[in-house]
Amino acid sequence: MTSRPPPSVLVLARPGPESDDLFADLSQREDVCLLRVATAAAANVAIGEIAVALVISCPQIPPSAIDSVLAQLDELRPGTPVLAIRTRQAQEPAAWAERGVAVLRLPLLAGVLSRAVDVVLGMTGKL
């Protein structure tokens, strides 16, 4: 029986300690292939090249960049789930709800992002 490769999770996050901390638990996982890019343009290239199972954006990414990624997903990989991490007060475009973008609000408790990935990808966590 051939084992399947782990699902690819595309993270749209600018480099820096804040985003490093946010994705620390996720980056330690061996059951997902984490690909981190800093711009929407880089994310759009990755979406064209890789079978992305999930896209996650960090709070510093502007809605217009996320909209660009959503357009690329709709064209090349329709149905790909998107998690947008946003500050508590941030407003999201109405189109995100129509598209099914899940929004996680800061501050996130430890492990919440990793568990959200499990839920979205239908993975069972190891106890």
Q: What is the CATH classification number for the domain harbouring 16?
A: 3.40.50.2300
Q: What does the pLDDT read at residue 52? A: 97
- Kindly give, in sequence order, each residue whose CB lies less than 8 Å from that of residue 118, ignoring residues fewer than 6 positions away: 124, 125
Rounded to whole angstroms, how far apart are CA atoms 50 and 65? 19
Which pLDDT value is given to residue 9? Answer: 97
**Residue ranges of E strands in 13-101:** 33-37, 52-57, 82-86
The residue range of the domain holding 109 is 8-120
Which stretches of the chain drop beneath a pLDDT of 50? 127
Counted domains in the chain = 1
Q: Which residue from 51, 97, 98, 95 is spatially nearest to 73, judged by alpha carbons?
A: 51
> 48 lies in a domain?
yes
- Whether 3 maps to a domain, the answer reads no
| Residue 127 counted as domain residue | no
Plot region of 103 (φ>0 → left; ψ -120 to 50 → alpha; else → beta): beta
Residue 4: predicted pLDDT: 82
pLDDT at 2 (0 to 100): 60
Check residue 75 and give its pLDDT: 97
